[in-house]
Structure 1
Amino acid sequence: MGKKSFQNRPPRIPFPVEDIQANGCRNPTCENFLTLSSIKNSDGSGEGLEEAFQRGGGSYRISGTGKNTASLVCEICTERKKQGEDITVVSTTLKSNQAVYEELSRISGYLNENPLKCPNQACDSNIGKKPISVNKNGRTSSGNQRYQCNHCGKNFSAKPKSRRQEKPHLNKLLFKLLVNKEPIRRIAELLDLSEKAVYGKIRFIHRQCLDFARSRERKLERMNFKRLYLSTDRQILMTNWSHRDDKRNSDLYGIATACLNSSYVFAFNFNYDGSVDAYEAERDAIESGDYDRAKHHRKHARIWLAREFDEAVKNRPPKEKLPFAGNLRDEIKIKSFIDQKFNLSDSSENIDATKQLPVRGALVHNEYTMMAHFFLLKRLFASTEKTRFFLDLDSGMKTAYISAFREEIAEDRSDGFLVRTSKNKTNDEKEKLVAQFRKMVSVISGIPVRQLTFKDLMEVTNNIIAERLKKPIKIPNSPEWWIEHPWVSKAEPEKMVAAVTDLSKYDTMHQANLYRMVTLAPVDRFFMNIRRMSMYFERPFQSGTGMGRIWHGYSAYNPEMYTIVGDIFRIHYNYCSRSTRKITPAMKLGLAKTPIPEEKILYYRKYQ
């Protein structure tokens, strides 16, 4: 009778979906670390499996944390904490594995040779475990193949509707103008095109960029890198309001990962899906009773529903007056306090009365985009021997990394570090700190500053870090142990670093060498370039409307333009941009032999 009682209710812990299990203990030293992810049955079959997930999967228990939310509590970590061990986090908010899989399918879709997707977001092929199943159903007026979905009956075309391009010989020039900070109106004026024609060409360029990227980046899964050192950070962008009567902004969060040695940007993903009809999703959620389910079991768990967003604004806790962050230690303390008290979902989203959902498309819960981002990287690095991730201080980012690379961490094939850098120093202050660092190294090494080599700097820095690792810094509210990084550069004049994985397997000097390499410079360089060279990504300024409203003349009204221009810029940055030595990131990584001319991306099939 006990087993039968489980059949009519969902498991308390979500089953894995396509080998994705985002839930589990975050502590790499815990016996529970691989407990849930080791179960690979995506259909819930297997002796005792259903009962185990109903009861909590062995050494776990379920704890309610709010309306329609629950946390997974690790019993082993709880007991270790009671015995005096320094374990801060013993529970995690339960997430939908189906939502992670859906988001991963979205951001990795460009890697598929012939991606077919039913446009009906309520279709079982999009929400559920049924594979896409279609029949050919004639052709469109433009000659593209039309299909009919066998699950929901929806008719759709394999390719997006495209109009005949006006003046196609201008595509290359438009491509260059787009990645060199020309506004849309200015591009239209220079090329003697309508703005509508310019947007049509931008979408064409975007499709060609993704096709070109697929032809190169699918090779990454088979490339045998011995080590990859990767920097991950995120960027927050705002869309302008569409109506004067409602001057609320929509926030979009973009997460990117860049290679330390080559500067290649492997992915740049936003928590926005322009293919979803938010109104249809809301209607379906109400009709299917989604709001009555736990969030990790909802059919539409991936996206922000309208009623859910309104509740988040209404129930937002009052702002607390936080102390002034006079140094990096205080910044980490305050950030960790905010994450522990308010960021329980690991989304790191700022939802308040000045924000609204996008007018078109759907906003994705940021934690699902971050998790999908790392699962995409896991796919790309399938043949890589070891990865080392340098993550911006963000509890959601750390959780997403651990969720995706859980097996690699347990097998000592991946390590992660948190980084916090000072970003409010003037140029004079930066130069002064760099000079002090070089002088300190000179005193320690006994070599005059002008005679110092990079090897001298590395050797002395490693020795300093080794000494500081003997007395790491414990910061309130943060579960990690931190050190003040001695290496100083103008890009990162002050820096604190903490390991999020267990490094005790390495000797002290090996650990010191890893700590020395920790930096966010490659991904920050990409963000700096896209801000300088793309008008959409410029920082906004305060408007004259009062009430803290933000408006920028060049910011997008359609959120999809951030994803489109972000993809275009990433491909151009990796393959076309030239450094002073005329070497692109793709060349350094081994994905290209020479800088790629823009026309070979625009018409790459012609050159194959």
Structure 2
Amino acid sequence: MQYVPQKSATAVKRRIPLPFFGVDVNFCRNAQCAQFGLHPDPRDGRGLGISPPNANFPRGTVGGIGDKKAFTCGYCGVESVLKNNRAIVEEYTRLRRLQRPSGVGKSCRKAECLFYGRSVDDCPQLYWKTGRTSAGHQRYSCKRCRSTFTVGNPARNHRRQSKNGQVLKLLVHGNSLSKISEIVDLAPRDVYRKLDFIYDRIRDFTARREVDLQGTDWERYGRRFATDSQTLTLNWPNRKKRASVAVQHLCTAHANSGYIVLGHLQFDPAGDMEQIEVDMAINGDSTKARCFRRHGRLWTAAEFKKYLDDITAKVVLDPEIAPDVDLGLQLPHEGGLVRHDIQQYAHALMLRRMVSGSDCRFYFVQDGDAGLSKAFLAAFAPEVQTGRVDVATVAFDKYQVNDVRETLWVQGRRELRTDLGLTAHQIDCLPEKVFNEEIDREIVKRLAGHRLGAPFAWPYHTKSEPSRVVDLKTDRPELTTERYARLMRLATLRSVDSYFHKIRSNIRPASRPVSTPSNNGRTWDRHFLYKPEMLIKIIEIYRFHHNWMGTRQTKMTPAMKLGLAKGRVYERDLFGN
């Protein structure tokens, strides 16, 4: 047998994670770099005598350990944290599945049949029509197992149907579940069942109607989107102490209509953090950097326990129960927390799929979270390279009190009157188009000497966004000053922030937690939910109500403004009664 040298027999290691189903977000994510979007050499040739990468690969180094492993671009020197491509695709697949109803109610009822879960609407060729019931409902027969089933009114087996609309209205108008139970005279168990029923009807409705978003004429209705996240709170029970766990609610709103195109909560009801920890110990994931792990999407049980210990560390406990306080620590019985960065990348890919059918030039505005803008730059890298997508982040003093906001707004209006040479009455009388053109001209003057890639401080303060600073991540030399000024004016998060404000005001479990001097710094509310899955359903119900139903004063719902509906959706349209 011929001797093989040890060096050549050694397998070449990877320094960058493998692509997964064609998704690879690990490259220089600095849009102003010449190597943006180009994948570097994935080989780790240290100690193996491998030749340096050729001209086809961007140069750069991979450094850091554990969760801080990053690629440093050899051209611009900017670090890009390595992400787990598998985890991103898994989360994207889960979010896509949430947009589609299960189809079990309109398919073969036998679980062992191959056609189980394949609905009549999606696969009509799998079934025969075999007459109707005495109530006039269509009866179907499965072509494979010959079993029959009926697709009737979705509420036909739902008791006390008259309460459905009342429960929905009370839920989206700031009432807690216990108060809803008292007002509508239903047991708490029945209230939960009705919420499950409403959620299923909403999923079925949006699955049919939101398909039209892919064919929307964005050139007509607007090509600007705003993305931000808000922190919602869940009660995590403990026999000895109580902890409020923060989860992120990530949303993207269409700026012109206010339609919430995507809304995702940082929680997977089907996840099992304890089982993931066991699997990681078996396959050696625990010793790998997070970007190389087989399980990189969810938190582990140990990470979650450490998080709970950290947030309850300052809670003063009775000395008699202090020794065994950890015995009562409970992880969620079902579900797991999704890593926030994985959620952001999957969210951006979902939005890319939604607008991919259009050749328009899009503008995405995000909060000042650096990870969120990197996620959008990675998801839309081909479009950014061709100039079809612009990405900007907005930062402003969101925690200012109302008096300071009023003062800044007056100051901004005064500066605007001075620059335009008009009185307040003359400014108010200007048509919107003329007013915007005048502002753009003034911004062009202020951009003289502005450095490429530098943030721009908006001079005209508003109450909703005082001291606004805009950072255009896709700034480039060929961008005209006039277009840059227009992008600065349009960079706002008002559409998504107003929706977040409505959620805080109208969804009782989503209100801000209250901290008092008597509770040792703990934030706790008896109306917060103990079951994270229920918060997902309530948030989705409110998104539907905001997009399609509105209130009595609503003349045009966001769905109507976006051309998805001709009128408001009422309870009778949703429940079929």
Q: Which TM-score band (shorter chain)?
A: 0.7 to 0.9
What CA distance in whole angstroms lies between the structure 2 residues aligned with 1:185 and 1:312?
29
**Aligned partner letter, 2:57:** G
Residue pair 1:232, 1:389 contacting (<8 A) in 2 also: yes
Say whether 1:30 aligns with 2:33.
yes
Stretch of structure 1 that moved more, 245-254 or 519-528: 245-254
What CA distance in whole angstroms lies between the structure 2 residues aligned with 1:535 and 1:406?
39
What secondary structure is seen at the aligned counterpart in 2 of 1:252? strand
Residue pair 1:468, 1:483 contacting (<8 A) in 2 also: no
> 1:430: which partner in 2?
405
> 2:99: which partner in 1?
111
The structural deviation recorded for 1:445 is 2.6
Q: 1:573 to 1:57 in 2, by over 3 A?
A: farther
Q: 1:447 to 1:292 in 2, by over 3 A?
A: closer
What CA distance in whole angstroms lies between the structure 1 residues aligned with 2:53 and 2:81?
16
The structural deviation recorded for 1:526 is 0.2
> 1:541: which partner in 2?
514
What CA distance in whole angstroms lies between the structure 1 residues aligned with 2:522 and 2:30?
41
The structural deviation recorded for 1:449 is 1.4
> 1:445: which partner in 2?
420
What CA distance in whole angstroms lies between the structure 2 residues aligned with 1:590 and 1:139?
35
Say whether 1:100 aligns with 2:88.
yes
> 2:335: which partner in 1?
361
The structural deviation recorded for 1:407 is 1.2
> 1:458: which partner in 2?
436
What CA distance in whole angstroms lies between the structure 2 residues aligned with 1:579 and 1:38?
59
What CA distance in whole angstroms lies between the structure 2 residues aligned with 1:53 and 1:204?
60
Say whether 1:469 aligns with 2:447.
yes
The structural deviation recorded for 1:217 is 1.4
What secondary structure is seen at the aligned counterpart in 2 of 1:186? helix
What CA distance in whole angstroms lies between the structure 2 residues aligned with 1:270 and 1:196?
24
Matches within 5 A, 1:35-434: 35-36=38-39, 58-67=57-66, 70-78=69-77, 90-112=78-100, 136=113, 165-226=158-219, 227-309=222-304, 358-384=332-358, 385-434=360-409
1:14 pairs, out of 13, 17, 20, with 17
What secondary structure is seen at the aligned counterpart in 1 of 2:223? strand
What CA distance in whole angstroms lies between the structure 2 residues aligned with 1:3 and 1:315?
48
Matches within 5 A, 1:558-569: 558-569=531-542
Residue pair 1:224, 1:383 contacting (<8 A) in 2 also: no
The structural deviation recorded for 1:569 is 0.6
Q: 1:284 to 1:511 in 2, by over 3 A?
A: same
- Which whole-Å deviations, capped at 9, do the CAs of 1:279-319 have from their partners, x for residues lacking one? 22222222222212221121211001123456779999xxx
**TM-score, structure 1 length as denominator?**
0.75
Residue pair 2:230, 2:249 contacting (<8 A) in 1 also: yes
The structural deviation recorded for 1:489 is 2.7
Residue pair 1:248, 1:356 contacting (<8 A) in 2 also: no
2:547 pairs, out of 560, 565, 574, with 574
What CA distance in whole angstroms lies between the structure 1 residues aligned with 2:191 and 2:20?
41
Structure exhibiting the larger radius of gyration computed from Cα positions: 2
What secondary structure is seen at the aligned counterpart in 2 of 1:35? coil
- Which whole-Å deviations, capped at 9, do the CAs of 1:324-356 have from their partners, x for residues lacking one? xxxxxxxxxxxxxxxxxxxxxxxxxxxxxxx99
Q: 1:93 to 1:551 in 2, by over 3 A?
A: same
What CA distance in whole angstroms lies between the structure 1 residues aligned with 2:252 and 2:365?
9
What secondary structure is seen at the aligned counterpart in 2 of 1:216? helix
- Which whole-Å deviations, capped at 9, do the CAs of 1:72-119 have from their partners, x for residues lacking one? 2212223xxxxxxxxxxx222211111001111112213346579xxx
What secondary structure is seen at the aligned counterpart in 2 of 1:440? helix
What CA distance in whole angstroms lies between the structure 2 residues aligned with 1:508 and 1:37?
33
Residue pair 2:41, 2:53 contacting (<8 A) in 1 also: no
Q: 1:580 to 1:455 in 2, by over 3 A?
A: farther
> 2:47: which partner in 1?
none
Residue pair 1:249, 1:550 contacting (<8 A) in 2 also: yes
> 1:521: which partner in 2?
494
> 1:595: which partner in 2?
568
Residue pair 1:250, 1:358 contacting (<8 A) in 2 also: no
Percentage identity across paired residues of the two chains = 29
What secondary structure is seen at the aligned counterpart in 2 of 1:418? strand
Residue pair 2:225, 2:252 contacting (<8 A) in 1 also: yes
What CA distance in whole angstroms lies between the structure 2 residues aligned with 1:247 and 1:113?
36
**Aligned partner letter, 1:29:** Q
The structural deviation recorded for 1:71 is 1.5
What secondary structure is seen at the aligned counterpart in 1 of 2:35? coil
Q: 1:498 to 1:279 in 2, by over 3 A?
A: same
**Aligned partner letter, 1:26:** R
**Aligned partner letter, 1:206:** Y
Residue pair 1:95, 1:296 contacting (<8 A) in 2 also: yes
The structural deviation recorded for 1:555 is 1.4
Q: 1:590 to 1:430 in 2, by over 3 A?
A: same
The structural deviation recorded for 1:277 is 2.2
Q: 1:76 to 1:173 in 2, by over 3 A?
A: same
**Aligned partner letter, 1:235:** Q
Q: 1:138 to 1:232 in 2, by over 3 A?
A: closer
Residue pair 1:16, 1:37 contacting (<8 A) in 2 also: no
What CA distance in whole angstroms lies between the structure 1 residues aligned with 2:274 and 2:394?
40
The structural deviation recorded for 1:468 is 2.9
Q: 1:503 to 1:572 in 2, by over 3 A?
A: farther
Stretches of structure 2 that go unaligned for 5 or more consecutive residues are: 44-49, 105-110, 118-154, 312-328
Residue pair 2:380, 2:389 contacting (<8 A) in 1 also: yes
What CA distance in whole angstroms lies between the structure 2 residues aligned with 1:232 and 1:457?
26
2:465 pairs, out of 492, 495, 520, with 492
Q: How many residues align?
A: 501
What CA distance in whole angstroms lies between the structure 1 residues aligned with 2:54 and 2:194?
55
CA-based RMSD of the aligned residues comes to 3.4
What CA distance in whole angstroms lies between the structure 1 residues aligned with 2:52 and 2:218?
37
Residue pair 1:15, 1:53 contacting (<8 A) in 2 also: no
**Aligned partner letter, 1:507:** T
Residue pair 1:536, 1:556 contacting (<8 A) in 2 also: yes
Residue pair 2:39, 2:58 contacting (<8 A) in 1 also: no
Residue pair 2:60, 2:74 contacting (<8 A) in 1 also: yes
Q: 1:545 to 1:575 in 2, by over 3 A?
A: same
The structural deviation recorded for 1:32 is 2.3
The structural deviation recorded for 1:447 is 2.6
2:454 pairs, out of 448, 457, 481, with 481
Q: 1:163 to 1:359 in 2, by over 3 A?
A: farther
**Aligned partner letter, 1:210:** R
What CA distance in whole angstroms lies between the structure 1 residues aligned with 2:8 and 2:173?
63
The structural deviation recorded for 1:243 is 1.7
Residue pair 1:12, 1:53 contacting (<8 A) in 2 also: no
